[in-house]
């Protein structure tokens, strides 16, 4: 009879190191359908697909203060974003969920990244140029240096994968350059990360101005759908979304940005390919299409809203955030020690 032989530990193949995934969302307001489709929905999908990957997902509160924030509002938004993450299906067993400012190493490595990057690189960032002109109380220095902090967020954890929306591509490219530059200057220290972009829905556009991105900090409430908007409001906002006058349901971003955006939303939430939707709605009116889409969005948001209210005032939320921060700190503090050593900072041997 064949006997089962157990290999000695030293003979066993060393386990493949886990990969790491990092991403964050700023708590600058309530999250929108753009954040859900472009980011949250992807995180949830990836957590089930990438079983060999450890997830670090955080609430980027240090990024939020690059523009003025009211203290109480910020506090509320931080908690709310955490509850929304969980309500969207992030599993705390698989994901380290934490608040960025609770892991000091982000700010420390952020400063080191500022000392790796050049001012010209920061000034070239499109998001900086867009946001700069909107500031009414003076432009905070951190609004410009923000991509250095984002690079730090990613490099602290040796992230292999960074799932982000299209608007963050330029920041990721800068992160890759900074990692490469640092490695070249001080010896191999950081993993050069890859971006991961959703196939559909990497850029959900404003409902009122479909040439612009749906943004939670837009002044016009009709331009976005909040994940926590009541469902009647959601249906109305979709009904009043700007389209065109030719009445034909077809995906054409250049000529028909409004209807193309609605098709993208429909397809992202149902996984029905856009081509299929075009066939299905060939002889239908915009109004009928919008009514159906209103139901699709309401169906997606209903369970999220239910779960949100289960989490928001629950002490379990704090336990999850504590656990996430503890694990993040462990990895981040080791990395900082390594960086200090490479650069000759402090007394690290
Ligand atoms: P703000 O309006 O304050 O700049 P934001 O919504 O653009 O905020 P975040 O909340 O930090 O920025 O975005 C979190 C994630 O959501 C990022 O990965 C971003 O690319 C993605 N995202 C944001 N808006 C959209 C959108 N309209 N379509 C697709 N993805 C989006
Ligand atoms: N800059 C991003 C939010 C963000 C982020 C990150 C995303 C901050 N740090 C690290 C991915 C990885 C934004 O404005 N959407």
Q: Cα–Cα distance between 80 and 88 in angstroms, integer?
A: 12
CATH number at 274 reads 1.10.240.10
Question: What pLDDT digit, counting tens, does each position of 173-208 carry?
Answer: 999 999 999 999 999 999 999 999 887 777 999 999
User: Is 45 an active-site residue?
Assistant: no
In short, whether 203's Cβ falls inside 6 Å of ligand 1 is: yes
Share of the chain above pLDDT 70, in %: 95
- What's the total number of domains in the chain? 2
| pLDDT, tens digit (0-9, with 9 covering 90-100), for 39-89 | 999 999 999 999 999 999 999 999 999 999 999 999 999 999 999 999 999
Beta-sheet pairing, 95-99 with 53-59: parallel
Dihedral sign from CA coordinates of 339, 341, 346, 349: positive
For residue 280, give its domain range: 221-311
Residues 145 and 247 in one domain: no
Are 303 and 167 in a shared domain?
Answer: no
What average pLDDT is seen over the chain? Answer: 93
Closest by Cα among 263, 259, 269, 271 to 302: 269
Query: For residue 4, is pLDDT > 50?
Result: no
39 and 133 belong to one structural domain = yes
Q: Hey, is 105 helix, strand or coil?
A: helix
- pLDDT score of 5 more than 60: no
Domain membership flag for residue 236: yes
Any idea what the CATH number is for the domain that residue 51 is in? 3.40.50.620
The answer to whether residues 185 and 66 belong to one domain is yes
Length of the chain: 349
Instruction: Give the sheet arrangement for strand 194-196, strand by strand.
Output: 95-99, 53-59, 19-25, 161-163, 194-196
Position 14 confidence tier, pLDDT thresholds 50, 70, 90: low
51 falls within a domain: yes
Is residue 273 included in any domain, yes or no?
yes
Pair 244, 195 in one domain: no
- Assess if residue 12 is contained within a domain: no
Catalytic site includes residue 94: no
- Asked if residue 136 and residue 81 are part of one domain, the reply reads yes
The predicted structure's pLDDT at residue 1: 44
**164 in contact with ligand 1, CB cutoff 6 A:** yes
53/193 same-domain check: yes
266: helix, strand or coil: helix
pLDDT digits (tens, 9 = 90+) for 17-42: 699 999 999 999 899 999 999 999 99
Pocket flag, ligand 2, residue 150 (CB < 6 Å): yes
The pLDDT of residue 13: 58
**For ligand 2, is residue 148 a contact (CB within 6 Å)?**
no
User: Which numbered ligand comes closest to the C-alpha of 172?
Assistant: 2
Which residues are CB-contacts of 310 (< 8 A; sequence separation ≥ 6)? 87
pLDDT tens-digit series, residues 81-124: 999 999 999 999 999 999 999 999 999 999 999 999 999 999 99
Q: Are residues 160 and 295 in the same domain?
A: no
**Residue 127 CA: which ligand 2 atom is closest?**
14
In a domain, 318, yes or no: yes
246 and 190 share a domain?
no
**Assigned domain for 37 exists:** yes
- Calculate the dihedral angle through the C-alpha atoms of 137, 215, 84, 300, rounding to the nearest 10 degrees: 160
- With respect to residue 11, please indicate whether it lies within any of the assigned structural domains: no
Angstrom distance (rounded) from CA 122 to CA 115:
12
CB-based burial of residue 342 (10 Å sphere; 0-12 exposed, 13-18 middle, 19+ buried)?
middle
Query: pLDDT > 90: what percent of the chain?
Result: 88
As a whole number of Å, the CA-based R_g of the chain is 22
Residues 237 and 291 grouped into a single domain: yes
Better-scored residue on pLDDT, 305 or 202:
305
> 116 and 172, same structural domain?
yes
- Position 248 scores a pLDDT of 92
Q: How far, in whole angstroms, is CA 310 from its chain's centroid?
A: 23
Residue at 244 is within a domain: yes
Q: Is the pLDDT of residue 6 over 80?
A: no
By the 8 A CB rule, do 156 and 329 touch?
Answer: no
In a shared domain, residues 170 and 81: yes
**168 ligand 2 Cβ < 6 A:** yes
Mutate to test the pocket of ligand 2, among 26, 40, 55, 60 (most ligand atoms within 8 A of CB): 60
């Amino acid at each position: 009879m064949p006997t089962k032989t157990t290999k000695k530990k030293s003979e066993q193949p060393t386990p493949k190191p886990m990969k790491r995934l990092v991403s964050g969302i700023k708590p600058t307001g309530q999250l929108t359908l753009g954040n859900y489709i472009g980011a949250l929905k992807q995180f949830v999908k990836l957590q089930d697909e990438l079983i060999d990957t450890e997830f670090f997902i955080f609430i980027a509160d240090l990024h939020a203060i690059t523009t003025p924030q009211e203290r109480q509002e910020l506090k509320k938004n931080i908690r709310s974003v955490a509850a929304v993450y969980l309500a969207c299906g992030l599993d705390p067993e698989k994901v380290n969920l934490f608040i960025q400012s609770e892991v000091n190493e982000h700010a420390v490595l952020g400063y080191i990244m500022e000392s790796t990057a050049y001012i010209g690189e920061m000034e070239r960032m499109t998001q900086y140029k867009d946001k700069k002109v909107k500031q009414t109380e003076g432009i905070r220095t951190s609004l410009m240096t923000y991509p250095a902090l984002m690079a730090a967020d990613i490099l602290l954890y040796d992230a292999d994968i960074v799932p982000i929306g299209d608007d963050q591509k330029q920041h990721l490219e800068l992160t890759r350059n900074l990692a490469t530059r640092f490695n070249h200057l001080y010896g191999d220290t950081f993993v050069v990360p890859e971006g991961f972009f959703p196939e559909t829905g990497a850029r959900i556009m404003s409902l009122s101005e479909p040439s612009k991105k749906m943004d939670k900090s837009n002044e016009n409430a009709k331009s976005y759908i909040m994940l926590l908007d009541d469902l009647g409001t959601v249906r109305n906002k979709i009904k009043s979304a700007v389209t065109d006058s030719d009445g034909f349901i077809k995906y054409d971003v250049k000529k028909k940005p409004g209807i193309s955006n609605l098709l993208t939303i429909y397809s992202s939430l149902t996984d029905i390919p856009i081509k299929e939707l075009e066939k299905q709605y060939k002889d239908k009116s915009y109004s009928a299409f919008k009514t159906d889409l209103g139901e699709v969005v309401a169906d997606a948001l209903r369970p999220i809203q239910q779960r949100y209210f289960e989490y928001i005032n629950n002490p379990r939320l704090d336990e999850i955030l504590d656990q996430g921060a503890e694990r993040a700190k462990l990895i981040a503090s080791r990395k900082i020690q390594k960086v200090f050593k490479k650069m000759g900072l402090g007394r690290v041997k």
